[in-house]
Structure 1
Amino acid sequence: MKRIGRSDIIGQRGMAHIEGIVLSMGFMFYPTGGVEAGIDGFIELRDDETGAVGNLLLQVQGKSTERRRLQAETDESFEFPCSEADIGYWMQGTAPVLFIVVLPEKGVAYWKSIKSWFSDPDRLKARKIIFYKKTDLFTKEAKAAVTAVALSTVPGAIAPSARIEEELLVNLVGISFARTLYWAPTSYSTDKSFGAALRELDPKAGSEWIVRGKAVLSFHNLDVWPWNLLCEAEAMEEFGSDEWSGSDDEDRQRDFVALLNRAMSEFVRPALWHDRDSGAYFFRKPKNRDRVRYAYKSLKSFVPRDVVKRYGKRRADPSQPTYWRHSAFLHRFVFLDGDWLIEITPTYHFTRDGYNSNLFSGEYLKKIKEFENNAAVMGQFVMWRHFLVSHGAADLYTDRYPYLAFAPLEPLTLNAGVPDDLWKSQEANPNSPLFDWAQAERAE
């Protein structure tokens, strides 16, 4: 009698499992059938919405096993050895190869992209694949990652989008500003000369004004002291701020942005200082403190962050740090679709003593950006957004800052996106010391 062995049944169960997962992604699976040298089937990408296919193919090598314990298995991972001949066969092909291990009794499968894994010389030399049980699961949720593998060897290819709803966190914050501007002639022709005269009269006078062509444009009423001593108050005019903010005249828009920047400098005081060279605002270091923590409302809860901290030791005096690192941001006011917004770019500022700029700031910043990942930047932006929205608000002791205010924007929603697990796995350094992933999960 002819016989079909148990190994054949196990292998077929593995292929059935793989095909089921592929079909659940909306893709097609074509078993090789018959004689094959190391490829059990092909996956063809397909747009689940339109049904369109574009000859984007992945090869599949499946291994199905009922072994109770896999090689070098732990709670987190296991290994699968590969022969030198098989690796050579897979690597020299023109199409990407997915190696999929199926455990039929447990109803689970794990996958790796062969060419990506063995592109590392050390892995190639070891001739084994390490599967991680949490991140390498072959399920419907791996669709976007599988698509990325297919696109990796096809320049310019367009794949079906991942049909998931995605909320985008953009680095923009809404702004509002005083609705009245005051204009008056003056005998002073520059900001510097006008400012010097103003400080002599009132050292605490605000700086929400600019001088252009021997005239002052200001958020302050120029008909009151001390402004009326520096301007021709009887010639003062009042305007709606929209005559500048909504103007098509580029000069007026530039003047309005200059006025907003002046207001910004007043708004952040005294918590932040401004570095004139880089344009960055940064948390200042209080006297007799080498560390400052700032608690802010993240995406879900309040979390603390070190915003001023000392680092290293000086050779000449080990009691002194090499530098202080300050959380900072760069900003730009932008006019989009009829609204004024502020664009926030998180960065860092470095000082030699907590106050004065460090000569090696550029090198420190370059190094930190090499290690910084997406989550670190996201966390910093959320912190700065919270600062802008909450700072300057009214309390029992002070009134709300009258000339500038900030508000968070509604998130942008798309009907296509990339699963978080995919882009997180592609971070240059997911273990960056600049960000705590556990904190990120609590924040999201």
Structure 2
Amino acid sequence: MSKNITPSQLLGEIGEAAVRLRFLTMGFQFDGRSRLEAGVDGIAEVMDRGRPLARMIAVQVKATDSGRYTSETDAGFSYLMRPEDLDYWRGSNLPIIIVLYRKSDDTFFWKEVGNQIKDEERRLQFDKAQDVLDVNAVERLAALTVPKAGFGYYVPPIGGGEEALVNILPVTLPSEVFVSSTPHTPKKAAAILLDGDAPRFDWAIKGGTFWSFSDPRETVCRDIVDLDQVEAIDTSSLAFHEDQDEQNNFAFLLRKTLDHQVRNELRWNKERKLFYVRALAENTTRTFAYEASKKRTSTDVVNAVMNKTDKTKVDFVRHHAFVPRFELLYDQWYLVINPTYFFTTNGFIPHSYPAALLAGKKRMDNSASLRGQVVMWHRFLSQADRDESNLFGQASTEPRLRFGEPPVVALATRVPEDVWGSQKKAASEPDDGQERMFA
């Protein structure tokens, strides 16, 4: 009996050949697997103007002759993945995509298969406008090869270069820090000050020792220290201690000092550990004007969002916010700015369900908006320094932290926008914003 090649086998070969040709015309390399493949038909390699970059994507090709896809409309369709394929792909150390090829209309659609997909979530949704495999998908595909953990990763050259703004602000410290013994624990000391008229908390207590950049003898903190033991020492003796615990203690003092310094403009949310711009009045937008990189601009740092149906009703109030972290890098302290948003019902009462609002706003952020937020926060935190240089400014009598310009790094390539998107998270996990080191 003679051997036969089935139509299904022929269609599979035609599909793989068509997909290989499509990748080659897009500027990628594509190498097919052997006949022993178990769920990956080929490996696509990202190239920059003919230069291979060793950035690989595993490709599974699914070919059909002329049938319609499941639930297909003019806008899109769905595709159900096989459980055995999912089991195989979960062990992959490469990003995996499915490419669907239809011979009758010569169409190519692609979708990433994330390693977080569960057996009960096997259905992929394709968008006919967004998920076409053509030259417009090059940067999205290249972005799949970028590590999603760590700081400062970027895809090798896909376009022209650009300057990246690092989201860290150099901190200039006061020259002196005051230390003293105290008989109180931090909790007891806070309770004593709260009983007074004007409590302040720009201090730290650790092991019976009080630290502050302000002289406690001249503030309400006189009530919580041993006045005869107060001593001013050089800040560098504490700021650059080699012991990690001591560095953590100093970072805590910096955060408390910043909290006191911005108390009239920002609010601290203990639950999410972030600063957000305070509202000046209920359900009222607040605008901050500042000098950006090249021109003067302004932004709504508090935005009262109106109901789309009832224009007289406020749905929620969105506040610009950031998660602060002080880090010692070599011999310089920095404030790491991680921009995010905080939501209230009227400017003062925290919103009960902010996760969906935050996720929706984050999806609209791109590298330009993140860069703008970092610049805005620098101008916001350093406005007192600029006021002092103005003849009409009001000079501050208290020692405070001063913040320098965020560093600029010249990159050899433009970063694809998809890299700046938030990582996918479980539905039960709130999206507080991905921490980034570049904006």
Question: Is TM-score (shorter-chain normalized) higher than 0.5?
Answer: yes
Higher relative contact order (CA 8 A, sep 6+): 2
Give the structure 2 partner of residue 335 of structure 1.
328
Report 1:20-419 matches (<5 A).
Answer: 88=106, 121=128, 161=157, 165-190=161-186, 192-200=187-195, 203-204=197-198, 206-224=200-218, 226-287=220-281, 290-313=284-307, 319-391=312-384, 393-394=387-388, 396=392, 398-400=394-396, 402-414=399-411, 416-418=412-414
- Supply the RMSD in Å over aligned alpha carbons: 4.5
Give the AA of the match of 1:196. Answer: A
Provide the rounded CA distance (Å) in 1 between the counterparts of 2:144 and 2:334. 40
Using the TM superposition, give the Cα deviation of residue 121 of structure 1 relative to its aligned residue in structure 2, in angstroms.
4.3
Q: Tell me, yes or no, if the aligned pair for 1:333 and 1:341 is still in contact at 8 Å.
A: yes
Q: CA 1:296 to 1:413, structure 2 compared with 1: closer, same or farther past 3 Å?
A: same
Percent identity for Structure 1 against Structure 2: 22
Provide the rounded CA distance (Å) in 2 between the counterparts of 1:206 and 1:155. 45
Using the TM superposition, give the Cα deviation of residue 340 of structure 1 relative to its aligned residue in structure 2, in angstroms.
0.6
SS in 1 for 2:192: helix
Give the structure 1 partner of residue 10 of structure 2.
none
Q: CA 1:87 to 1:290, structure 2 compared with 1: closer, same or farther past 3 Å?
A: same
Q: CA 1:262 to 1:162, structure 2 compared with 1: closer, same or farther past 3 Å?
A: same
Question: For residues 147-179 of structure 1, what are the alpha-carbon distances to aligned partners after superposition, in whole Å with 9 as ceiling and x for unaligned?
Answer: x599699999x9974696542211111111112
Q: Tell me, yes or no, if the aligned pair for 1:314 and 1:321 is still in contact at 8 Å.
A: no
The structure that has the greater radius of gyration is 1
Using the TM superposition, give the Cα deviation of residue 224 of structure 1 relative to its aligned residue in structure 2, in angstroms.
4.1
Q: Tell me, yes or no, if the aligned pair for 1:273 and 1:281 is still in contact at 8 Å.
A: yes
The answer for unaligned runs of 5 or more in structure 1 is: 1-26, 28-43, 57-83, 93-118, 137-144, 430-443
| Paired residues, number | 312
Q: Tell me, yes or no, if the aligned pair for 1:47 and 1:160 is still in contact at 8 Å.
A: no
Question: For residues 17-67 of structure 1, what are the alpha-carbon distances to aligned partners after superposition, in whole Å with 9 as ceiling and x for unaligned?
Answer: xxxxxxxxxx9xxxxxxxxxxxxxxxx96889xx9999x9xxxxxxxxxxx
Using the TM superposition, give the Cα deviation of residue 212 of structure 1 relative to its aligned residue in structure 2, in angstroms.
1.8
Q: CA 1:187 to 1:282, structure 2 compared with 1: closer, same or farther past 3 Å?
A: same
TM superposition score normalised by structure 1:
0.58
Q: CA 1:427 to 1:207, structure 2 compared with 1: closer, same or farther past 3 Å?
A: closer
SS in 1 for 2:264: coil
TM superposition score normalised by structure 2:
0.59
Question: For residues 107-142 of structure 1, what are the alpha-carbon distances to aligned partners after superposition, in whole Å with 9 as ceiling and x for unaligned?
Answer: xxxxxxxxxxxx8647999xxx9x9xxxx8xxxxxx
Give the structure 2 partner of residue 73 of structure 1.
none
Using the TM superposition, give the Cα deviation of residue 375 of structure 1 relative to its aligned residue in structure 2, in angstroms.
2.2
Provide the rounded CA distance (Å) in 1 between the counterparts of 2:360 and 2:277. 20
SS in 2 for 1:335: strand
Q: Tell me, yes or no, if the aligned pair for 1:45 and 1:159 is still in contact at 8 Å.
A: no
